Amino acid sequence: MIAIVVGGGPAGLMAAEQMATSGAIVTVHEHMPSVARKLLLAGRSGLNLTHAEPLPQLLARYGDAPQVVAAVRAFDPAALRAWSAELGETTFVGSSGRVFPTAMRATPLLRAWLTRLNDLGVTIELRSRWLGWSATPAGDLRPTTLRFEHTDSSTSEDTADAVVFALGGASWPRVGSDGTWVQTFRDAGVDVLALRPANCGIRVAWSPRFGQRFAGVPLKNIALGVDGTWVRGDATITADGLESGPVYAQSAAIRDTIEAQGSCPVAVDLHPDLSAAEVRARWARRRPKDSLANSLRRALGLAPAAVALLREATGNDVPTEPAALAALVKAVPLVVPAVMPLARAISSAGGIALAEIDEQFMLRRLPGVFVAGEMLDWEAPTGGYLLQASFSTAVAAARGAISWGARR
């Protein structure tokens, strides 16, 4: 079988490996000068491959995306960790349940992976941008004949028995996933939902003084509340909003509320380990002669950034009455007018509607064309779930392509 993979990210390389292992002749087309750039960027602070939580709990992270859930079940975290170990990169489970290669970085894994792909005979064509499908004289698409543009502006056509697209979403476009494929698929009659930011920061209209002074400062051990749901962790103040763990976890709910209502109210619990009654009791024992800032620091243990957030949210009119102060500390009100744009998001929501693909990840409208990874309409939180599903859907699409080729 002759197979083409369009996209040299983790999903594309995994699909190529799976098909080549089954005996297919595989060519990967990547429009950037090198492959797996997003994987390398993600691995700078530790490559989070997957998560070690129980499988039922992990599968629930993918929401209403049955094909994705089935793919992750078929190629689960244990299979992904075994695959990594086969490349010489054993894995370990961190304290939060996240799974990392022992080397932590992506570079050793990618180097071994590319060696394996080369040994399997996989050809990687760099700086080869997909332009679209070829067409018959009557104007009908030829789904497995693709047109490419090269660095010298020349074009070429390649025909295969099966094609796997793994072009990613539109987050971190500088590493290659720029979402330019969306209109081409729509023109072919494929239903593609608008790409939206996921696992992203939120905008807050800080005063210039607050934004400038505290940009980059963490709010340690807080909880972020959206519509009664609270997520704990450390958030980071930016010049124009908030980033990091609990913000990313709540970003989908915030984004959806903004799209429906124009803005989203958010609450910050600065002391999630204390009840409101405990905050009141501590505040009642403050030293009368202390300034407000010192009282907040000594009686409640609030850091300067948290104290400044109280002032920011109240227009520097922080209440001192115990019940009112406790209510504020447990739910500092913020209004979020927007989430950060796609270019600043970790991942994308939206993409090819799942109704467009069959159980083998083939597009119903384009026989012989399979899709995998972030191109599909699913989203999941950070913590290894994104890479896990990208790898798993790539395995599913590759197996579907192999089956298709065998039937042909």
Domains and CATH numbers, the chain: 2-197+346-407 (3.50.50.60), 202-339 (no CATH)
pLDDT at 176 over 90: no
Helix, strand, coil in percent for the chain, rounding step 5:
40, 25, 35
Tell me, what's the pLDDT at 235? 97
Asked if residue 238 lies in contact with residue 219, where contact means CB atoms within 8 angstroms, the answer is no
3-state secondary structure of 152: coil
Q: Distance of alpha carbon 234 from its chain centroid, rounded?
A: 19
Residue type, 140: D
- 3-state DSSP assignment of residue 158: strand
Task: Calculate mean pLDDT across residues 389-397.
Answer: 98
45 band by pLDDT with thresholds 50, 70 and 90: confident
Does pLDDT of 288 surpass 90?
no
CA 182 – CA 210 distance, rounded (Å): 39
Residue 393 has a CB neighbour count (10 Å cut-off) of: 31
Predicted confidence at residue 175, as pLDDT, reads 87
Look at residue 136 and tell me whether its pLDDT is greater than 90: no
Provide the phi-psi class of 154: left if phi over 0, else alpha when psi is between -120 and 50, else beta. beta
In this model, does residue 1 exceed pLDDT 80? Answer: yes
Q: Which two tokens stand for residue 44?
A: 């700078």
Question: Residue 148's pLDDT band (boundaries 50, 70, 90)?
Answer: very high
In eight-state DSSP terms, residue 44 is G
**Cα 319–Cα 320–Cα 323 angle in degrees, nearest 5:** 85
Mean model confidence pLDDT for the chain: 95
Largest CA distance in the chain: 88
Dihedral angle computed from the Cα positions of residues 37, 40, 41 and 47, in that order, rounded to the nearest 10 degrees? 140
Closest CA to 202 of 256, 123, 133, 281: 256
pLDDT at 95: 85
* pLDDT for residue 42: 82
**DSSP reduced 3-state for 285:** coil
Instruction: Kindly tell me if the per-residue pLDDT of 43 is higher than 80.
Output: no
**Per-residue pLDDT, 137:** 86
Summarize pLDDT for 196-239 with one digit per residue, the tens. 999 999 999 999 999 999 999 999 999 999 999 999 999 999 99
- Over residues 352-392, the pLDDT tens digits come to 999 999 999 999 999 999 999 999 999 999 999 999 999 99
